[in-house]
Amino acid sequence: MSGKVQIYDTTLRDGTQAEEINLTPEDKLLIARKLDELGVDFIEGGWPGSNPTDRQFFKEAARLRLSTARLAAFGSTHNAKSTADQDGNLKALVESGAQAATIFGKSWDLHVHEALRVPLERNLELIGGSLAFLRPHFPDLFYDAEHFFDGFKANPDYTLATLRAAFEAGADALVLCDTNGGTLPHELAPIFERLRRELPEARLGIHVHNDSGTAVASSLEAVRLGAAQVQGTVNGYGERCGNADLCSIIPALELKMGRPCLPEGRISQLTHVAHFVSETCNLRPFMRQPFVGRSAFAHKGGVHVSAILRDSRTYEHIRPEAVGNVQRVLLSDMAGRSNILAMARRYYEGLDKNDPCVETLLSEVKEREALGYEYSVAEASFILLFFRTMGWSKRYFDLINFRVLDAKRGGEEPFSEATVQIKVQGKNVHTAADGRGPVNALDNALRKALCDVYPHLAEMKLVDFKVRVLSGYVRDTGGTASNVRVLIESSDKTEKWTTVGLSHNIIAASWQALTDSIVYKLFKDDPQKWPHKAAL
Protein backbone atom coordinates (compact mmCIF):
# COMPACT_ATOMS: atom_id res chain seq x y z
CA MET A 1 0.00 0.00 0.00
CA SER A 2 1.25 3.50 -0.81
CA GLY A 3 0.12 7.06 -0.18
CA LYS A 4 0.34 9.62 2.59
CA VAL A 5 0.38 8.47 6.19
CA GLN A 6 -1.40 10.66 8.74
CA ILE A 7 0.73 11.71 11.71
CA TYR A 8 -1.29 12.10 14.90
CA ASP A 9 0.82 13.66 17.64
CA THR A 10 -0.17 12.99 21.24
CA THR A 11 2.81 14.63 22.99
CA LEU A 12 0.55 17.11 24.77
CA ARG A 13 -1.65 14.36 26.19
CA ASP A 14 -0.03 10.93 26.28
CA GLY A 15 3.46 12.45 26.41
CA THR A 16 2.66 14.45 29.54
CA GLN A 17 1.91 11.22 31.41
CA ALA A 18 5.66 10.62 31.49
CA GLU A 19 7.53 10.90 34.75
CA GLU A 20 9.18 14.35 35.15
CA ILE A 21 7.01 16.08 32.54
CA ASN A 22 4.62 18.80 33.71
CA LEU A 23 3.48 21.30 31.09
CA THR A 24 1.55 24.50 31.67
CA PRO A 25 -1.09 25.63 29.17
CA GLU A 26 1.48 28.16 27.88
CA ASP A 27 4.04 25.38 27.36
CA LYS A 28 1.48 23.35 25.44
CA LEU A 29 0.63 26.29 23.20
CA LEU A 30 4.32 26.76 22.34
CA ILE A 31 4.72 23.08 21.47
CA ALA A 32 1.51 23.07 19.44
CA ARG A 33 2.85 25.90 17.27
CA LYS A 34 6.08 23.99 16.65
CA LEU A 35 4.20 20.81 15.75
CA ASP A 36 2.13 22.80 13.28
CA GLU A 37 5.31 24.21 11.74
CA LEU A 38 6.64 20.66 11.42
CA GLY A 39 3.46 19.74 9.58
CA VAL A 40 1.79 16.93 11.56
CA ASP A 41 -1.85 16.26 10.70
CA PHE A 42 -3.33 16.20 14.21
CA ILE A 43 -2.24 17.60 17.55
CA GLU A 44 -3.96 15.97 20.49
CA GLY A 45 -4.16 18.80 23.01
CA GLY A 46 -5.38 16.86 26.03
CA TRP A 47 -8.42 15.56 27.84
CA PRO A 48 -10.68 18.56 28.54
CA GLY A 49 -13.05 16.50 30.65
CA SER A 50 -10.38 15.31 33.09
CA ASN A 51 -8.35 18.28 34.42
CA PRO A 52 -8.22 22.10 34.63
CA THR A 53 -4.89 22.39 32.74
CA ASP A 54 -6.31 20.80 29.61
CA ARG A 55 -9.53 22.79 29.84
CA GLN A 56 -7.49 25.99 30.06
CA PHE A 57 -5.33 24.90 27.13
CA PHE A 58 -8.33 24.39 24.85
CA LYS A 59 -9.75 27.74 25.94
CA GLU A 60 -6.50 29.51 25.06
CA ALA A 61 -5.96 27.40 21.92
CA ALA A 62 -8.80 29.31 20.30
CA ARG A 63 -6.23 31.99 19.44
CA LEU A 64 -3.93 29.51 17.69
CA ARG A 65 -3.81 29.97 13.94
CA LEU A 66 -2.71 26.53 12.81
CA SER A 67 -1.77 26.29 9.15
CA THR A 68 -1.33 22.52 8.75
CA ALA A 69 -2.48 20.64 11.84
CA ARG A 70 -5.93 20.17 13.30
CA LEU A 71 -6.44 20.22 17.04
CA ALA A 72 -7.88 17.07 18.59
CA ALA A 73 -9.51 16.60 21.99
CA PHE A 74 -9.31 13.28 23.83
CA GLY A 75 -11.80 11.46 26.02
CA SER A 76 -13.41 8.14 26.85
CA THR A 77 -16.67 6.38 26.19
CA HIS A 78 -19.50 7.63 28.35
CA ASN A 79 -20.16 6.50 31.91
CA ALA A 80 -21.86 3.13 32.01
CA LYS A 81 -24.48 4.43 34.46
CA SER A 82 -25.73 7.19 32.15
CA THR A 83 -26.31 7.95 28.49
CA ALA A 84 -24.05 9.66 25.97
CA ASP A 85 -26.09 12.86 25.82
CA GLN A 86 -25.86 13.21 29.62
CA ASP A 87 -22.13 12.49 29.92
CA GLY A 88 -19.97 15.41 31.09
CA ASN A 89 -16.83 13.99 29.49
CA LEU A 90 -18.40 13.88 26.01
CA LYS A 91 -19.93 17.33 26.48
CA ALA A 92 -16.46 18.69 27.35
CA LEU A 93 -15.15 17.35 24.03
CA VAL A 94 -17.88 19.12 22.11
CA GLU A 95 -17.32 22.36 24.03
CA SER A 96 -13.52 22.24 23.60
CA GLY A 97 -13.55 23.94 20.22
CA ALA A 98 -11.30 21.23 18.75
CA GLN A 99 -11.67 20.25 15.11
CA ALA A 100 -11.26 16.54 15.88
CA ALA A 101 -12.10 14.17 18.71
CA THR A 102 -10.61 10.85 19.79
CA ILE A 103 -12.21 8.60 22.38
CA PHE A 104 -10.95 5.32 23.75
CA GLY A 105 -12.96 2.30 24.73
CA LYS A 106 -12.37 -1.17 26.09
CA SER A 107 -11.30 -3.87 23.62
CA TRP A 108 -10.16 -6.50 26.11
CA ASP A 109 -12.88 -8.48 27.85
CA LEU A 110 -10.69 -8.57 30.98
CA HIS A 111 -11.05 -4.77 31.27
CA VAL A 112 -14.77 -4.89 30.59
CA HIS A 113 -15.21 -7.34 33.47
CA GLU A 114 -12.62 -5.96 35.92
CA ALA A 115 -12.42 -2.21 35.17
CA LEU A 116 -15.87 -1.27 33.83
CA ARG A 117 -17.66 -4.13 35.64
CA VAL A 118 -20.41 -4.29 33.02
CA PRO A 119 -21.65 -7.04 30.67
CA LEU A 120 -19.79 -7.38 27.39
CA GLU A 121 -22.83 -6.26 25.43
CA ARG A 122 -23.11 -3.07 27.50
CA ASN A 123 -19.53 -2.14 26.56
CA LEU A 124 -20.49 -2.36 22.87
CA GLU A 125 -23.37 0.03 23.59
CA LEU A 126 -20.98 2.46 25.30
CA ILE A 127 -18.67 2.49 22.28
CA GLY A 128 -21.40 2.87 19.68
CA GLY A 129 -23.46 5.37 21.65
CA SER A 130 -20.50 7.63 22.45
CA LEU A 131 -19.27 7.81 18.85
CA ALA A 132 -22.78 8.30 17.48
CA PHE A 133 -23.28 11.23 19.87
CA LEU A 134 -19.99 12.88 18.82
CA ARG A 135 -20.28 12.22 15.09
CA PRO A 136 -22.34 15.33 14.16
CA HIS A 137 -19.99 17.63 16.07
CA PHE A 138 -16.60 16.78 14.52
CA PRO A 139 -15.28 16.59 10.96
CA ASP A 140 -12.71 14.05 12.17
CA LEU A 141 -13.63 11.38 14.71
CA PHE A 142 -11.27 8.60 15.81
CA TYR A 143 -11.67 5.57 18.02
CA ASP A 144 -8.70 4.34 20.08
CA ALA A 145 -9.17 0.64 20.75
CA GLU A 146 -7.43 0.43 24.13
CA HIS A 147 -5.54 -2.83 24.80
CA PHE A 148 -6.55 -4.03 21.34
CA PHE A 149 -3.72 -6.53 20.86
CA ASP A 150 -4.02 -8.06 24.33
CA GLY A 151 -7.76 -8.28 23.84
CA PHE A 152 -7.39 -9.89 20.43
CA LYS A 153 -5.06 -12.56 21.81
CA ALA A 154 -7.50 -13.33 24.63
CA ASN A 155 -10.83 -13.16 22.79
CA PRO A 156 -10.52 -12.16 19.13
CA ASP A 157 -14.23 -12.41 18.34
CA TYR A 158 -15.19 -9.96 21.07
CA THR A 159 -12.37 -7.55 20.28
CA LEU A 160 -13.46 -7.49 16.63
CA ALA A 161 -17.02 -6.83 17.79
CA THR A 162 -15.84 -3.68 19.61
CA LEU A 163 -14.19 -2.44 16.42
CA ARG A 164 -17.32 -3.20 14.42
CA ALA A 165 -19.41 -1.18 16.89
CA ALA A 166 -17.06 1.79 16.51
CA PHE A 167 -17.00 1.53 12.71
CA GLU A 168 -20.78 1.33 12.40
CA ALA A 169 -21.15 4.37 14.70
CA GLY A 170 -19.12 6.48 12.28
CA ALA A 171 -15.47 6.48 13.44
CA ASP A 172 -13.20 7.73 10.66
CA ALA A 173 -10.32 5.54 11.83
CA LEU A 174 -10.03 2.58 14.15
CA VAL A 175 -6.73 3.00 16.01
CA LEU A 176 -5.24 -0.25 17.28
CA CYS A 177 -3.56 0.39 20.62
CA ASP A 178 -0.82 -1.73 22.16
CA THR A 179 -1.46 -0.07 25.51
CA ASN A 180 0.80 -2.36 27.56
CA GLY A 181 3.51 -2.39 24.89
CA GLY A 182 3.90 -6.16 24.98
CA THR A 183 3.18 -7.07 21.36
CA LEU A 184 6.14 -7.72 19.05
CA PRO A 185 6.22 -6.59 15.40
CA HIS A 186 6.01 -10.10 13.90
CA GLU A 187 2.65 -10.66 15.67
CA LEU A 188 0.89 -7.92 13.69
CA ALA A 189 0.59 -9.53 10.24
CA PRO A 190 -1.97 -12.27 11.01
CA ILE A 191 -4.05 -9.81 13.05
CA PHE A 192 -4.14 -7.27 10.21
CA GLU A 193 -5.02 -10.03 7.73
CA ARG A 194 -8.09 -10.96 9.76
CA LEU A 195 -9.10 -7.33 10.17
CA ARG A 196 -8.98 -6.88 6.40
CA ARG A 197 -11.25 -9.87 5.94
CA GLU A 198 -13.79 -8.86 8.60
CA LEU A 199 -13.73 -5.04 8.27
CA PRO A 200 -12.50 -4.40 4.72
CA GLU A 201 -13.86 -0.83 4.58
CA ALA A 202 -12.40 0.31 7.90
CA ARG A 203 -9.49 2.75 7.99
CA LEU A 204 -6.90 1.62 10.52
CA GLY A 205 -4.40 3.43 12.72
CA ILE A 206 -1.71 2.33 15.17
CA HIS A 207 -0.81 3.51 18.69
CA VAL A 208 2.04 1.64 20.38
CA HIS A 209 3.74 1.95 23.76
CA ASN A 210 7.42 1.09 24.08
CA ASP A 211 7.51 -1.36 26.99
CA SER A 212 9.18 -4.02 24.82
CA GLY A 213 11.45 -1.51 23.07
CA THR A 214 9.74 -2.13 19.72
CA ALA A 215 7.20 0.70 19.46
CA VAL A 216 8.81 2.28 16.41
CA ALA A 217 9.27 -1.08 14.68
CA SER A 218 5.66 -2.09 15.34
CA SER A 219 4.38 1.26 14.08
CA LEU A 220 6.35 0.92 10.83
CA GLU A 221 5.20 -2.67 10.41
CA ALA A 222 1.58 -1.55 10.90
CA VAL A 223 2.00 1.00 8.11
CA ARG A 224 3.48 -1.68 5.87
CA LEU A 225 0.42 -3.81 6.61
CA GLY A 226 -2.01 -1.02 5.77
CA ALA A 227 -2.37 1.40 8.71
CA ALA A 228 -3.07 4.89 7.40
CA GLN A 229 -2.55 6.80 10.66
CA VAL A 230 0.31 6.62 13.16
CA GLN A 231 -0.04 8.00 16.67
CA GLY A 232 3.05 8.81 18.72
CA THR A 233 4.94 11.48 20.61
CA VAL A 234 7.96 13.68 20.01
CA ASN A 235 11.05 12.03 21.54
CA GLY A 236 8.93 9.04 22.52
CA TYR A 237 7.72 10.70 25.72
CA GLY A 238 4.98 8.84 27.55
CA GLU A 239 4.00 6.77 30.56
CA ARG A 240 6.36 4.01 31.77
CA CYS A 241 8.78 3.37 28.86
CA GLY A 242 7.14 5.91 26.61
CA ASN A 243 5.26 5.95 23.32
CA ALA A 244 6.37 5.34 19.76
CA ASP A 245 8.89 8.06 18.89
CA LEU A 246 7.69 10.18 15.98
CA CYS A 247 11.23 11.48 15.54
CA SER A 248 12.20 7.99 14.34
CA ILE A 249 8.92 7.08 12.66
CA ILE A 250 8.67 10.16 10.44
CA PRO A 251 12.13 9.90 8.80
CA ALA A 252 11.83 6.12 8.51
CA LEU A 253 8.54 6.54 6.65
CA GLU A 254 9.67 9.37 4.40
CA LEU A 255 13.32 8.56 3.76
CA LYS A 256 13.32 4.76 3.89
CA MET A 257 9.81 3.52 3.07
CA GLY A 258 8.88 6.21 0.55
CA ARG A 259 5.71 7.08 2.45
CA PRO A 260 5.16 10.85 2.72
CA CYS A 261 3.72 12.03 6.02
CA LEU A 262 4.74 15.72 6.26
CA PRO A 263 4.41 18.60 3.81
CA GLU A 264 7.32 18.74 1.40
CA GLY A 265 10.52 20.13 2.92
CA ARG A 266 9.30 20.12 6.53
CA ILE A 267 11.29 17.06 7.67
CA SER A 268 14.45 19.18 7.86
CA GLN A 269 12.88 20.87 10.93
CA LEU A 270 12.69 17.58 12.83
CA THR A 271 15.85 17.93 14.94
CA HIS A 272 14.98 21.50 15.90
CA VAL A 273 11.45 20.49 16.95
CA ALA A 274 12.74 17.50 18.95
CA HIS A 275 15.14 19.71 20.90
CA PHE A 276 12.55 22.48 21.33
CA VAL A 277 10.10 20.03 22.88
CA SER A 278 12.73 18.59 25.23
CA GLU A 279 13.74 22.08 26.36
CA THR A 280 10.11 23.09 26.93
CA CYS A 281 9.61 19.89 28.96
CA ASN A 282 12.77 20.81 30.90
CA LEU A 283 14.44 17.54 29.93
CA ARG A 284 17.90 17.10 28.47
CA PRO A 285 17.81 15.74 24.90
CA PHE A 286 18.82 12.09 24.59
CA MET A 287 22.23 12.22 22.91
CA ARG A 288 21.97 8.81 21.24
CA GLN A 289 18.42 9.25 19.97
CA PRO A 290 18.22 8.03 16.35
CA PHE A 291 18.05 10.69 13.63
CA VAL A 292 17.82 13.76 15.90
CA GLY A 293 20.23 13.05 18.77
CA ARG A 294 23.47 15.00 19.08
CA SER A 295 25.41 11.72 18.72
CA ALA A 296 23.31 10.34 15.85
CA PHE A 297 25.95 11.36 13.31
CA ALA A 298 28.99 11.67 15.60
CA HIS A 299 32.18 9.83 14.65
CA LYS A 300 35.06 9.06 16.98
CA GLY A 301 37.21 6.26 15.54
CA GLY A 302 39.96 7.41 13.19
CA VAL A 303 39.09 4.80 10.55
CA HIS A 304 35.47 5.97 10.48
CA VAL A 305 36.44 9.63 10.25
CA SER A 306 38.90 9.02 7.43
CA ALA A 307 36.14 7.23 5.50
CA ILE A 308 33.34 9.77 6.01
CA LEU A 309 35.63 12.59 4.88
CA ARG A 310 35.82 10.83 1.52
CA ASP A 311 32.18 9.73 1.38
CA SER A 312 29.74 10.15 4.29
CA ARG A 313 27.72 7.15 3.09
CA THR A 314 30.44 4.85 4.41
CA TYR A 315 29.26 5.30 8.02
CA GLU A 316 25.97 7.26 7.81
CA HIS A 317 22.64 5.74 6.81
CA ILE A 318 21.15 9.09 5.71
CA ARG A 319 22.41 12.63 5.22
CA PRO A 320 22.20 14.37 8.62
CA GLU A 321 20.93 17.54 6.94
CA ALA A 322 17.82 15.68 5.75
CA VAL A 323 16.45 15.77 9.31
CA GLY A 324 18.13 19.03 10.33
CA ASN A 325 21.02 17.37 12.15
CA VAL A 326 24.77 17.75 11.58
CA GLN A 327 27.75 15.49 11.21
CA ARG A 328 30.20 15.70 14.11
CA VAL A 329 33.76 14.47 14.47
CA LEU A 330 34.87 13.73 18.04
CA LEU A 331 38.28 13.93 19.63
CA SER A 332 39.62 11.18 21.88
CA ASP A 333 42.62 8.95 22.38
CA MET A 334 41.27 6.94 19.42
CA ALA A 335 41.57 10.00 17.18
CA GLY A 336 43.77 10.10 14.12
CA ARG A 337 44.95 12.93 11.90
CA SER A 338 41.60 12.77 10.09
CA ASN A 339 39.74 13.64 13.31
CA ILE A 340 41.99 16.63 13.96
CA LEU A 341 41.71 17.87 10.39
CA ALA A 342 37.93 17.45 10.29
CA MET A 343 37.45 19.27 13.57
CA ALA A 344 40.00 21.99 12.87
CA ARG A 345 38.71 22.83 9.41
CA ARG A 346 35.35 23.70 10.93
CA TYR A 347 37.08 26.62 12.65
CA TYR A 348 40.04 27.42 10.40
CA GLU A 349 39.55 26.70 6.71
CA GLY A 350 43.16 27.41 5.77
CA LEU A 351 44.68 24.49 7.69
CA ASP A 352 46.93 22.26 5.60
CA LYS A 353 47.02 18.55 6.38
CA ASN A 354 50.84 18.69 6.54
CA ASP A 355 50.92 21.61 8.97
CA PRO A 356 53.09 20.54 11.95
CA CYS A 357 50.40 21.97 14.22
CA VAL A 358 48.17 19.02 13.29
CA GLU A 359 50.61 16.50 14.72
CA THR A 360 51.27 18.73 17.75
CA LEU A 361 47.56 19.02 18.46
CA LEU A 362 46.96 15.30 17.97
CA SER A 363 49.74 14.44 20.43
CA GLU A 364 48.44 16.90 23.00
CA VAL A 365 44.86 15.65 22.71
CA LYS A 366 45.94 12.03 23.15
CA GLU A 367 48.11 12.91 26.16
CA ARG A 368 45.36 14.92 27.80
CA GLU A 369 42.71 12.27 27.13
CA ALA A 370 45.03 9.70 28.74
CA LEU A 371 44.99 11.87 31.87
CA GLY A 372 41.19 12.00 31.85
CA TYR A 373 40.23 15.06 29.78
CA GLU A 374 37.17 14.46 27.60
CA TYR A 375 37.18 16.58 24.44
CA SER A 376 34.48 14.58 22.66
CA VAL A 377 31.93 16.38 24.84
CA ALA A 378 33.91 19.51 25.78
CA GLU A 379 34.16 20.95 22.30
CA ALA A 380 34.61 24.54 23.48
CA SER A 381 37.76 23.57 25.39
CA PHE A 382 39.06 21.84 22.25
CA ILE A 383 38.46 24.98 20.19
CA LEU A 384 40.54 27.03 22.62
CA LEU A 385 43.25 24.36 22.65
CA PHE A 386 43.28 24.31 18.85
CA PHE A 387 43.69 28.04 18.44
CA ARG A 388 46.39 28.18 21.09
CA THR A 389 48.27 25.45 19.22
CA MET A 390 47.88 27.48 16.02
CA GLY A 391 49.56 30.44 17.70
CA TRP A 392 46.65 32.47 19.04
CA SER A 393 48.04 34.27 22.06
CA LYS A 394 45.46 36.89 23.00
CA ARG A 395 44.70 36.80 26.72
CA TYR A 396 41.52 38.39 28.03
CA PHE A 397 42.67 38.19 31.64
CA ASP A 398 45.37 36.57 33.79
CA LEU A 399 44.93 34.96 37.17
CA ILE A 400 47.03 36.33 40.00
CA ASN A 401 45.37 34.22 42.68
CA PHE A 402 42.07 33.01 44.02
CA ARG A 403 40.92 31.74 47.40
CA VAL A 404 37.76 29.92 48.40
CA LEU A 405 36.36 29.73 51.90
CA ASP A 406 33.81 27.02 52.66
CA ALA A 407 32.42 27.03 56.19
CA LYS A 408 29.54 25.90 58.36
CA ARG A 409 28.42 27.21 61.73
CA GLY A 410 26.40 24.94 64.01
CA GLY A 411 23.06 24.03 62.51
CA GLU A 412 23.22 26.78 59.88
CA GLU A 413 23.48 26.13 56.15
CA PRO A 414 27.06 25.94 54.81
CA PHE A 415 28.28 29.13 53.14
CA SER A 416 30.94 29.78 50.51
CA GLU A 417 32.95 32.89 49.74
CA ALA A 418 35.54 33.40 47.01
CA THR A 419 38.11 36.12 46.44
CA VAL A 420 39.67 36.51 43.00
CA GLN A 421 42.62 38.68 41.95
CA ILE A 422 43.20 39.00 38.20
CA LYS A 423 44.95 41.29 35.74
CA VAL A 424 42.67 42.57 32.99
CA GLN A 425 43.72 45.18 30.42
CA GLY A 426 46.81 46.01 32.48
CA LYS A 427 44.95 46.58 35.74
CA ASN A 428 44.88 44.47 38.89
CA VAL A 429 41.30 43.77 39.95
CA HIS A 430 40.52 42.25 43.33
CA THR A 431 36.95 41.10 44.04
CA ALA A 432 35.03 38.91 46.44
CA ALA A 433 31.62 37.27 46.28
CA ASP A 434 29.62 34.61 48.05
CA GLY A 435 27.60 31.87 46.40
CA ARG A 436 25.69 28.65 46.78
CA GLY A 437 28.76 26.44 46.97
CA PRO A 438 32.40 27.14 46.15
CA VAL A 439 32.08 26.97 42.35
CA ASN A 440 29.15 29.38 42.31
CA ALA A 441 31.11 31.74 44.58
CA LEU A 442 34.13 31.57 42.23
CA ASP A 443 31.89 32.19 39.23
CA ASN A 444 30.28 35.21 40.89
CA ALA A 445 33.63 36.70 41.96
CA LEU A 446 35.24 36.23 38.53
CA ARG A 447 32.29 37.75 36.68
CA LYS A 448 32.29 40.65 39.13
CA ALA A 449 35.92 41.28 38.23
CA LEU A 450 35.33 41.07 34.47
CA CYS A 451 31.89 42.54 33.77
CA ASP A 452 33.00 46.20 33.79
CA VAL A 453 35.45 45.42 30.98
CA TYR A 454 33.34 42.77 29.23
CA PRO A 455 29.69 43.69 29.91
CA HIS A 456 28.33 41.08 27.48
CA LEU A 457 29.33 38.38 30.00
CA ALA A 458 26.09 39.28 31.78
CA GLU A 459 24.13 37.39 29.10
CA MET A 460 26.05 34.17 29.79
CA LYS A 461 24.89 31.61 32.34
CA LEU A 462 26.03 28.23 33.63
CA VAL A 463 23.49 25.56 32.70
CA ASP A 464 24.99 22.35 34.07
CA PHE A 465 27.87 21.18 36.26
CA LYS A 466 29.11 17.59 36.34
CA VAL A 467 31.86 16.00 38.41
CA ARG A 468 33.28 12.54 37.87
CA VAL A 469 35.91 10.85 40.01
CA LEU A 470 38.40 9.11 37.70
CA SER A 471 40.21 5.87 38.35
CA GLY A 472 42.63 3.92 36.21
CA TYR A 473 43.98 6.98 34.43
CA VAL A 474 47.64 7.97 34.12
CA ARG A 475 49.02 9.48 37.37
CA ASP A 476 45.88 8.54 39.27
CA THR A 477 46.61 7.96 42.96
CA GLY A 478 43.25 6.42 43.80
CA GLY A 479 40.70 6.98 46.55
CA THR A 480 39.91 10.49 47.65
CA ALA A 481 43.15 11.69 46.01
CA SER A 482 41.96 10.59 42.54
CA ASN A 483 41.73 13.05 39.71
CA VAL A 484 38.31 14.53 39.14
CA ARG A 485 36.94 15.71 35.82
CA VAL A 486 34.58 18.67 35.79
CA LEU A 487 32.32 19.46 32.84
CA ILE A 488 30.55 22.80 32.76
CA GLU A 489 27.80 23.57 30.24
CA SER A 490 27.21 27.27 29.58
CA SER A 491 24.89 29.22 27.33
CA ASP A 492 24.09 32.67 26.04
CA LYS A 493 21.40 33.99 23.70
CA THR A 494 22.67 32.04 20.69
CA GLU A 495 24.29 28.75 21.73
CA LYS A 496 25.38 26.29 24.38
CA TRP A 497 28.93 25.08 24.93
CA THR A 498 30.77 22.67 27.23
CA THR A 499 34.23 22.99 28.80
CA VAL A 500 36.39 20.61 30.82
CA GLY A 501 38.79 20.82 33.76
CA LEU A 502 40.92 18.14 35.40
CA SER A 503 42.81 17.99 38.68
CA HIS A 504 43.08 16.00 41.91
CA ASN A 505 41.63 19.18 43.46
CA ILE A 506 37.96 19.67 42.62
CA ILE A 507 38.19 23.46 42.99
CA ALA A 508 41.19 23.63 40.61
CA ALA A 509 39.37 21.43 38.06
CA SER A 510 36.28 23.62 38.38
CA TRP A 511 38.39 26.75 37.89
CA GLN A 512 39.80 25.35 34.64
CA ALA A 513 36.38 24.52 33.24
CA LEU A 514 34.92 27.79 34.50
CA THR A 515 37.64 30.00 33.00
CA ASP A 516 37.50 28.09 29.72
CA SER A 517 33.75 28.71 29.56
CA ILE A 518 34.25 32.45 30.07
CA VAL A 519 37.22 32.67 27.70
CA TYR A 520 35.23 30.83 25.03
CA LYS A 521 32.40 33.34 25.38
CA LEU A 522 34.84 36.24 25.05
CA PHE A 523 36.65 34.55 22.17
CA LYS A 524 33.58 33.76 20.08
CA ASP A 525 32.22 37.30 20.52
CA ASP A 526 35.58 38.93 19.69
CA PRO A 527 35.58 40.31 16.12
CA GLN A 528 39.41 40.38 16.15
CA LYS A 529 40.01 36.96 17.68
CA TRP A 530 41.84 35.55 14.68
CA PRO A 531 43.37 37.12 11.57
CA HIS A 532 42.09 34.34 9.30
CA LYS A 533 38.58 33.15 8.44
CA ALA A 534 37.13 31.10 11.28
CA ALA A 535 33.67 29.56 11.49
CA LEU A 536 32.76 30.59 15.02
Domain finish residue from 261, 280, 299: 280
pLDDT digits 0-9 by tens, 311-328: 888 989 999 999 999 887
What phi, psi does 389 have (nearest 5°)? -65, -35
236-185-101-97 Cα dihedral, nearest 10 degrees: 20
Give me the number of domains the chain comprises: 2
Question: E strands, 57-158, where?
Answer: 70-76, 100-106, 140-146
Q: According to the model, what pLDDT value does residue 407 have?
A: 86
Asked if the model's pLDDT at residue 244 lies above 60, the reply is yes
CA angle 87, 93, 96 (to 5 degrees): 135
Any domain includes 367? no
Distances, alpha carbon 399 to alpha carbons 52, 266, 291, 395, in Å: 55, 49, 43, 11
pLDDT digits 0-9 by tens, 475-493: 555 555 578 999 999 999 8
Asked if the model's pLDDT at residue 192 lies above 90, the reply is yes
Nearest to 500 by CA among 470, 466, 475: 466
pLDDT over 70 for what percent of the chain? 91
pLDDT digits 0-9 by tens, 293-304: 988 998 877 678
Any domain includes 285? no
Q: What is the pTM of this model?
A: 0.75
In terms of C-beta density within 10 A (0-12 exposed, 13-18 middle, 19 or more buried), how is residue 213 classed?
A: exposed
**What average pLDDT does the chain have?**
90
Nearest to 393 by CA among 515, 521, 529, 501: 529
CATH code for the domain of 436: 3.30.160
Both 165 and 26 in a single domain? yes
Domain finish residue from 453, 473, 495: 453
The mean pLDDT of 158-176, rounded to a whole number, is 98
* CA dist., res. 347 & res. 342, Å (int): 10
Question: E strands, 266-327, where?
Answer: 298-299
Contacts of residue 356, Cβ cutoff 8 Å, sequence gap at least 6: none
The mean pLDDT of 84-101, rounded to a whole number, is 96
Nearest to 101 by CA among 31, 164, 183, 45: 45
Any domain includes 98? yes
Q: According to the model, what pLDDT value does residue 24 have?
A: 92
Q: According to the model, what pLDDT value does residue 284 have?
A: 83
* CA dist., res. 4 & res. 17, Å (int): 29
pLDDT digits 0-9 by tens, 400-409: 999 999 887 7
Any domain includes 13? yes
Both 115 and 242 in a single domain? yes
Contacts of residue 75, Cβ cutoff 8 Å, sequence gap at least 6: 47, 48, 49, 50, 89, 90, 92, 93, 101, 102, 103, 104
* CA dist., res. 290 & res. 251, Å (int): 10
Any domain includes 171? yes
In terms of residue numbers, what domain contains 415? Answer: 397-453
CATH code for the domain of 207: 3.20.20.70
Any domain includes 201? yes
pLDDT digits 0-9 by tens, 255-293: 999 999 999 999 999 999 999 999 899 888 898 999 999
Sign of CA dihedral 104, 109, 114, 119: positive
Q: According to the model, what pLDDT value does residue 535 have?
A: 39
Both 117 and 257 in a single domain? yes
Contacts 24+ apart (CB under 8 A), 87-91: 87/130, 87/133, 88/49, 89/49, 89/50, 90/49, 90/130, 90/133, 90/134, 91/49
Domain finish residue from 424, 453, 482: 453
- Report which DSSP code applies to 254: I
Any domain includes 300? no
Any domain includes 31? yes
